[in-house]
């Protein structure tokens, strides 16, 4: 079986495949105008015969970029009478509290593309005002006349009774089968009308463009005699069929970043690490996620774009904390003499000053180069020579000069500030969740991750850092391990203990039926799937709920002792207190439906014995660690020449085709039998 994962990011298109019994990989520049071209090139570079590939897994930034660039479809919105402006009013908050010129999120479609439908359903699901045929006809006729490509329908309380949305959807689909139609209850069955409307509109807005892209991708693959399956990476850490991706493109917003965390989770399991932090550092951002028992946490709710002015999306997403610090983050000095790194970054073009493409802004990669940490001749496997002098000039002019520091001092400061910022993202997913970093390990990847990981880990006392095989294209590798996954949620409100058993069972049954239906449509045997149910619980009076596993409706009725204990424990863990004597209530039920991959090729490769394929010798270079004025003579090793079982004591720099690993003095590296590097930090 041949499988290939392709991750299209802003700068690079990464590929990792398991083809003909071997792992293959490639990295090539993304072609924004025609991403399928990037896929073709990366397949070529990796030596993959498209026709021989049985399954292609794909992650892409197309959905999120369509929103960030506001280049989606002309979209109409149908709402309940009286609620035309729910989407524009939002939550009325002003996140930048002191900004007198603050703008709240701008709707993705204008007010005059909204139509109010006369109908009303109550919170209980009862119909207060029925949807009559005449109203339905008017709504359909209005949509027909507005010249739109997509329609979002979000009616009040449709999460509890979707009947009116269904009828509108059916009538629209019959009259205009060419339109992309999203009904709120089809993607989200939770209360909060603004967030549900926003999620529904996001889906409709990106639908036509993402659909077109996926059709072109499919067409290209079929033309290249590809006969396998295509799976699309989604924000919840699973994959979905091409068909489902076309219906629910909103769920592929974080398609790229999550795959690396899935891969890191699997690796942590293989290494027997109960808790660790996945750390992924790329060109513009660094991402962290807490991995427990081999998997990241999945949260509900997320903002697409800037936190203050972005579009809320209320679907499950891998809990990743992102900070604006990466290899390309620009270092700058403000008017008062404060030194900052990011959040602006140079991107691929012109890139860092050391790329020699004329940029005069020093970035983190320039600082790494000036400190001797990166090899100017081996960057991107020797594919790009770096200009040390250009980096020095930029650092001198923009940082060292204004702060009256030497260039090495300035470069060292830039790296320390970037590391401190990134350590806050690591802290946010560990310390801030009540996890003591001393009980964790870090798994570091992404092009720049292995270079910075160890000093970041040291900031918060993480004792061990693991650098996996293929750290530079690890996200694409992660795709090869992702399960098929679909999340379902249904509002169910009631006090635990008073809940009617029949009602709870009914909701469980509805979720199960929806799950089986989705499996069948994607050609998966329900018997092979894993159905896991969760109840969102809270103490009566609280608003924020915590998802707690429940195996059956019975656990929520009667005394519910098991669930009670689980909830109290989790509450105490998260918030430092619990109230075991208080009444508990349920808010919604969730079903997480997964179907594991039939193969485990990529996982097997992760534990496959390592054999060096090169015998490059050791070189030496001066590298700055703690004291910018006193560089340390450091051994430079080629990773592909290291033997399993080898032990190296820092200082050392370990170089490989798409990444560089910096080992600080006295830290100890062990090459595992499978070829991963385990670094034990010396405190």
Partner 1 sequence: MTKATTDPITIEVVRNAVVAYADEMADVLSKSAYNMMIYEVRDYCCGLIDTEGRMISQNRGGLPIFLADLGVAVEDGIKRYGLDGFAEGDVLVMNHGHICGQHLNNVVVYAPCFHDGELIGFAANRAHWVDIGGGRQGFGSNATTDIYSEGLQMRSLKIYDAGKANETLLQIIRDNIRYPDASLGDLRAQIASCQVGARRFGELVGRYSRATVDECVATIWAQADRQVRSVIEKIPDGTYSATSFLDNDGRALDKPLRIKVTVTVAGARMSVDFSEMNPQVDGPLNSGRSGGIAAARVAFKALTSPNLDVNEGCFRSLDVVLPEGTMLSARPPAALGQWSIALPTVIDTILKALAPAVPEMIPAAHKGDMGGCSFFGFYGDGSRFLLMNIFGGGWGGRPHGDGASASVSVCQGDVRNTPVELQEIKYPFVIERHMLRPDSGGAGRYRGGLGVELTYRVLRACKGNINFDRTVTPPWGLDGGKEGAVSLAIIERADGRTENVNKATNVAFEPGDRVTFLTAGGGGYGDPRERDHGLLQSDIEKGLVSTEAARRDYGFAAKGESQPAMRMAANS
| Residues within the interface to partner 1 (CB under 8 A) | 81-86, 88-104, 110-112, 115-116, 122-123, 128, 142, 156-157, 159, 191-195, 335-340, 403, 413, 416-417, 420-421, 424, 427-428, 432, 493, 539-544, 571, 574-577, 579, 582
C-beta of 406 vs 618, nearer to partner 1: 406
C-beta of 337 vs 617, nearer to partner 1: 337
DSSP 545: -
Of 162, 163, 77, 164, nearest to 116 by C-alpha is 77
- Spatial separation of the C-alpha atoms in residues 181 and 150, rounded to whole Å: 6
C-beta of 71 vs 111, nearer to partner 1: 111
Least separation, in Å, of the C-beta of 100 and partner 1?
5
Least separation, in Å, of the C-beta of 433 and partner 1?
10
C-beta of 159 vs 508, nearer to partner 1: 159
Q: Which residue has the tokens 């702060």?
A: 403
C-beta of 507 vs 654, nearer to partner 1: 507
Least separation, in Å, of the C-beta of 577 and partner 1?
5
CB-based contact 534:590 (threshold 8 Å): yes
Least separation, in Å, of the C-beta of 202 and partner 1?
18
The half-sphere exposure of 657 on its side-chain side, counting CA atoms within 13 A, is 12
Q: Which residue has the tokens 């149908």?
A: 78
- Spatial separation of the C-alpha atoms in residues 490 and 495, rounded to whole Å: 16
- Spatial separation of the C-alpha atoms in residues 374 and 391, rounded to whole Å: 12
DSSP 285: -
Least separation, in Å, of the C-beta of 540 and partner 1?
8
C-beta of 117 vs 467, nearer to partner 1: 117
C-beta of 1 vs 128, nearer to partner 1: 128
At residue 225, what are phi and psi to the nearest 5 degrees?
Answer: 55, 30
C-beta of 317 vs 421, nearer to partner 1: 421
C-beta of 452 vs 639, nearer to partner 1: 452
C-beta of 112 vs 223, nearer to partner 1: 112
At residue 627, what are phi and psi to the nearest 5 degrees?
Answer: -115, 110
The encoded tokens of residue 12 equal: 């690079």
Listed in order, strand segments (DSSP E) in 135-254 are 150-153, 180-183, 229-233, 239-241
C-beta of 222 vs 573, nearer to partner 1: 573
- Is the C-alpha dihedral spanning 23, 27, 32, 36 positive or negative? negative
C-beta of 98 vs 617, nearer to partner 1: 98
CB-based contact 18:602 (threshold 8 Å): yes
Region at 515 (left for phi over 0; alpha for psi -120 to 50; beta for the rest):
alpha
Q: Which residue has the tokens 């570091």?
A: 444
Least separation, in Å, of the C-beta of 282 and partner 1?
21
- Spatial separation of the C-alpha atoms in residues 355 and 349, rounded to whole Å: 9
What DSSP string runs through 648-669? EESSEEEEETTEEEEE-TT-EE
- 638 C-beta neighbours (distance < 10 Å), count: 18
Least separation, in Å, of the C-beta of 53 and partner 1?
45
Least separation, in Å, of the C-beta of 123 and partner 1?
4
Region at 579 (left for phi over 0; alpha for psi -120 to 50; beta for the rest):
beta
C-beta of 110 vs 227, nearer to partner 1: 110
C-beta of 156 vs 652, nearer to partner 1: 156
Q: Which residue has the tokens 């149910």?
A: 533
DSSP 683: -
Return all residues near 302 (Cβ < 8 A) that are at least 6 apart: 235, 253, 254, 312, 313, 314, 315, 317
Please tell me whether residue 172 adopts helix, strand or coil conformation: helix
Least separation, in Å, of the C-beta of 115 and partner 1?
6
Least separation, in Å, of the C-beta of 313 and partner 1?
16
At residue 425, what are phi and psi to the nearest 5 degrees?
Answer: -70, -35
Least separation, in Å, of the C-beta of 309 and partner 1?
11
C-beta of 301 vs 376, nearer to partner 1: 301
Of 624, 623, 281, 679, nearest to 448 by C-alpha is 281
Least separation, in Å, of the C-beta of 94 and partner 1?
6
Least separation, in Å, of the C-beta of 431 and partner 1?
8
What DSSP string runs through 92-106? ---SSTT-TT--PPP
CB-based contact 458:664 (threshold 8 Å): yes
Least separation, in Å, of the C-beta of 168 and partner 1?
15
CB-based contact 393:443 (threshold 8 Å): no
Least separation, in Å, of the C-beta of 39 and partner 1?
39
Of 345, 305, 354, 339, nearest to 325 by C-alpha is 345
């Amino acid at each position: 079986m041949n499988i290939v994962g392709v991750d299209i990011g802003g700068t690079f298109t990464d590929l990792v495949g398991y083809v003909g019994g071997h792992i293959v990989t490639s990295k090539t520049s993304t072609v924004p105008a025609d991403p399928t071209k990037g896929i073709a090139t990366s397949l070529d570079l990796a030596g993959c015969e498209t026709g021989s590939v049985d399954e292609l897994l794909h992650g892409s930034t197309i959905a999120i970029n369509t929103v960030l660039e506001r280049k989606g479809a002309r979209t109409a919105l149908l709402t309940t009478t009286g609620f035309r402006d729910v989407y524009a009013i939002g939550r009325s908050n002003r996140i930048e509290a002191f900004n007198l010129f603050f703008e709240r999120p701008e709707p993705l479609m204008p007010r005059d593309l909204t139509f109010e439908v006369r109908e009303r359903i109550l919170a209980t699901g009862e119909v207060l005002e029925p949807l009559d045929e005449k109203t339905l006809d008017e709504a359909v006729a209005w949509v027909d006349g507005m010249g739109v490509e997509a329609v979002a329908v979000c009616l009040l309380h449709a999460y509890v009774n979707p009947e009116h949305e269904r009828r509108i959807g059916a009538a629209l689909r019959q009259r205009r089968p060419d339109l992309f139609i999203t009904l709120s209850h089809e993607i989200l069955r939770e209360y909060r009308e603004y967030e549900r409307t926003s999620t529904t509109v996001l889906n409709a807005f990106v639908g036509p463009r993402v659909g077109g892209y996926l059709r072109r991708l499919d067409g290209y693959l079929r033309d290249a005699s590809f006969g396998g399956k295509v799976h699309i990476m989604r924000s919840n850490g699973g994959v979905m069929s091409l068909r489902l991706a076309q219906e629910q493109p909103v769920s592929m917003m974080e398609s790229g970043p999550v795959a690396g965390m899935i891969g890191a989770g699997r690796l942590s399991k293989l290494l027997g690490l109960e808790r660790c932090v996945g750390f992924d550092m790329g060109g513009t951002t660094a991402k962290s996620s807490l991995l427990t028992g081999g998997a990241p946490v999945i949260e509900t709710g997320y903002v697409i774009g800037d936190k203050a002015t972005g579009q809320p999306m209320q679907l499950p997403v891998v809990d990743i904390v992102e900070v604006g610090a990466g290899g390309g983050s620009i270092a700058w000095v403000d008017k008062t003499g404060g030194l900052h790194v990011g959040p602006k970054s140079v991107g691929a073009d012109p890139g860092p000053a050391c790329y020699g493409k004329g940029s005069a802004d020093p970035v983190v990669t320039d600082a790494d180069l000036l400190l001797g940490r990166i090899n100017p001749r081996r960057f991107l496997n020797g594919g790009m020579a770096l200009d040390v002098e250009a980096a020095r000039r930029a650092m001198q002019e923009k940082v060292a000069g204004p702060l009256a520091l030497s260039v090495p001092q300035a470069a060292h400061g830039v790296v320390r500030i970037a590391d401190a910022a990134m350590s806050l993202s690591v802290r946010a997913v560990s310390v801030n969740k009540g996890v003591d970093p001393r009980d964790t390990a870090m798994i570091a990847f992404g092009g720049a991750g292995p270079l910075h990981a160890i000093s970041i880990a040291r900031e918060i006392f993480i004792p061990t850092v693991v650098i996996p095989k293929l750290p530079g294209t690890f996200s694409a590798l992660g795709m090869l391990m992702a399960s098929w996954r679909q999340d379902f949620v249904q509002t169910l409100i009631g006090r635990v203990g008073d809940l009617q058993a029949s009602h709870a069972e009914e909701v469980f049954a509805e979720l199960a039926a929806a799950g089986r239906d989705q499996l069948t449509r994607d050609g998966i045997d329900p018997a092979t799937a894993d159905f896991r149910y969760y109840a969102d619980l809270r103490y009566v009076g609280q608003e924020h709920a915590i998802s707690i596993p429940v195996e059956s409706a019975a656990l929520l009725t009667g005394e519910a002792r098991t669930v009670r204990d689980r909830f109290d424990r989790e509450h105490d863990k998260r918030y430092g207190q619990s109230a075991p004597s208080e009444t508990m209530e349920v808010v919604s039920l969730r079903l997480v439906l997964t179907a594991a991959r039939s193969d485990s090729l990529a996982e097997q490769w992760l534990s496959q014995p390592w054999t060096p394929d090169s015998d490059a010798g050791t070189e030496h270079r001066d590298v700055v660690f703690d004291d910018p004025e006193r560089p340390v003579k450091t051994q430079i090793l080629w990773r592909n020449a290291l033997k399993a079982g080898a032990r190296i004591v820092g200082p050392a720099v370990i170089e490989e085709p798409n990444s560089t690993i910096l080992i600080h003095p006295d830290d100890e590296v062990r090459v595992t039998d499978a070829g991963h590097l385990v670094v034990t930090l010396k405190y």
